[in-house]
């Protein structure tokens, strides 16, 4: 890829369109079919060390933090290592307990975000092992980390991160599979995940083909003053990232909530002027998500669902192709990148340079 616009009107649109090839690139040369695993050259983590890791703590900001939340779920699901993600900016100011059996992972597109870099430096000073999941080769965070993996998304110019989010989540899926196969993930499950990873580029292309339909939906919802994004477990970080995307580029207020928490407060917000975007994967929480949509409909809320099949309770459904349950979050965010883009376009926003934002935040 180059900085050439290649016929796209904005970098955001160009970068959304590049995702199938970007995902192909992060997978290339890493899959080992014989042992149903992946090789991540720069990890610098011997199998014996990997088996001794007792916790994984992922640190990042903004979109990278959301990618890290999905990454933590993937690591717990595939490697059965307790994992969570936290904003690096919060972590470094709460005098965290730095545990020798915890593996820390710093995640950043630019590799220059000050809060992430400062967290890495503080962790290193205390003797912790820190890996980087970084896009920009040779950046400060990549240099400071003990090892890690590059995300290979290619240059991302738009302030609003899209393709790097997707590739970062795929990089976490590779890390989770690698750790899983060193620990207790079976060959059969390793093969299942590898087959799922291989399906991603063509499934991304399928999603991108639905752009005209998503554009019409964006025009229909662009009059909203505020939008709610809901999801559960795997769908929740997708909802958080989609809500960040919409607010950054369209300036529409958006808030993400676990669908399970609706009845504990946010239901009070629902009326015809407050649409909800619901992430509804075809997994074991499908019925729970349907029940949440019913609650919203009962209060005259409009619903746009992103799902694997048409949702009767929703006013509109964007149908995305199904992958393995664990990998579904990778695909479900992509139509909502297009939704945010077309909403911003309909509202005449400066898409590549949203007001008040910088591509990388190198100061505190
Ligand atoms: C993404 O759309 C944002 N502009 C922002 O949240 C960004 O992800 C964050 O500042 C972290 O940047 P990094 O990935 O370069 O560290």
What local confidence, expressed as pLDDT, does residue 2 receive?
Answer: 56
More confident residue, 320 or 267: 320
pLDDT at position 1 over 60: no
pTM check: above 0.90? yes
ipTM > 0.95 (yes/no): yes
Beta strands in 83-206 (DSSP E): 83-87, 102-108, 129-134, 147-150
List pocket residues of ligand 1, CB cut-off 6 Å. Answer: 61-64, 108-110, 113, 116, 159-161, 248, 357, 360-361
Cα(107)–Cα(63) distance, integer angstroms: 10
| Residues 6 or more apart whose Cβ sits within 8 Å of residue 361 | 61, 113, 114, 115
Cβ atoms < 10 Å from Cβ of 20: 20
Ligand 1: nearest atom to the Cα of 141: 16
Between helix 163-182 and helix 187-208 the angle, nearest 10°, is: 170
Cα(230)–Cα(73) distance, integer angstroms: 17
DSSP 272: T
Phi, psi of 148 (to 5 degrees): 155, -160
Do the bridges between strand 31-32 and strand 37-38 make them parallel or antiparallel, or are there none, so unpaired? antiparallel
Q: Which is catalytic among the residues 247, 297, 353, 359?
A: 359
Atom 6 of ligand 1 has which residue's CA nearest to it? 62
Q: Mean per-residue pLDDT for 7-24?
A: 96
DSSP 352: T
Which range among 42-51, 75-84, 209-218 shows the weakest confidence by mean pLDDT? 42-51
| 3 state SS of 265 | coil
Ligand 1: nearest atom to the Cα of 162: 2
Q: Mean per-residue pLDDT for 71-96?
A: 96
Asked whether the beta carbons of 295 and 267 are under 8 A apart, the reply is: yes
| pLDDT tier, 357 (very low <50, low <70, confident <90, very high otherwise) | confident
Alpha-carbon 170 to chain mean position: 9
359 is catalytic: yes
Q: Calculate how far, in angstroms, residue 283's C-alpha sits from the geometric centre of ligand 1.
A: 29
| pLDDT tier, 361 (very low <50, low <70, confident <90, very high otherwise) | confident
Ligand 1: nearest atom to the Cα of 63: 8
CA angle 72, 241, 354 (to 5 degrees): 140
Asked whether the beta carbons of 151 and 26 are under 8 A apart, the reply is: yes
């Amino acid at each position: 890829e180059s900085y050439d616009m290649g016929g796209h009107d904005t970098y955001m649109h160009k970068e959304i369109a590049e995702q199938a090839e970007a995902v192909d690139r992060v997978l290339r040369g890493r899959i080992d079919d014989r042992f149903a695993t992946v090789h991540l050259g720069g990890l610098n983590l011997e199998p014996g060390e990997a088996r001794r890791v007792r916790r994984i703590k992922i640190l990042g900001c903004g979109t990278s933090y959301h990618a890290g939340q999905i990454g933590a779920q993937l690591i717990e699901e595939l490697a059965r290592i307790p994992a969570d993600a936290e904003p690096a900016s919060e972590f470094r100011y709460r005098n965290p307990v730095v545990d020798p059996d915890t593996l820390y992972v710093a995640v950043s597109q630019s590799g220059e975000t000050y809060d992430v870099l400062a967290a890495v430096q503080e962790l290193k000073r205390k003797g912790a092992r820190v890996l980087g999941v970084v896009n920009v080769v040779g950046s400060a965070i990549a240099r400071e980390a003990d090892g890690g993996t590059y995300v290979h998304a290619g240059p991302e110019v738009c302030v609003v991160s899209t393709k790097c989010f997707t590739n970062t989540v795929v990089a976490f899926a590779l890390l989770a599979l690698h750790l899983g196969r060193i620990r207790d993930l079976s060959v059969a499950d390793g093969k299942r995940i590898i087959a799922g990873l291989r399906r991603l580029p063509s499934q991304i292309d399928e999603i991108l083909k639905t752009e005209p339909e998503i554009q019409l939906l964006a025009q229909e919802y662009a009059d909203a003053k505020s939008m709610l994004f809901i999801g559960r477990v795997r769908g929740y970080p997708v909802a958080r990232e989609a809500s960040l995307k919409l607010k950054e580029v369209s300036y529409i207020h958006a808030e993400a909530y676990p669908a399970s928490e609706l009845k504990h407060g946010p239901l009070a917000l629902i009326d015809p002027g407050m649409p909800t975007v619901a992430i509804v994967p075809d997994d074991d929480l499908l019925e729970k998500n349907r029940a949440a949509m019913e609650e919203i409909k009962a209060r005259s809320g409009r619903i746009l669902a992103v799902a694997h099949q048409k949702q009767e309770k929703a006013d509109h459904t964007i149908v995305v192709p199904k992958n393995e349950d664990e990998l579904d979050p990778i695909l479900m965010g992509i139509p909502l990148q297009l939704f945010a883009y077309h909403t911003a376009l309909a509202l005449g926003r400066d898409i590549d340079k949203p007001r008040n934002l910088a591509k990388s935040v190198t100061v505190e």
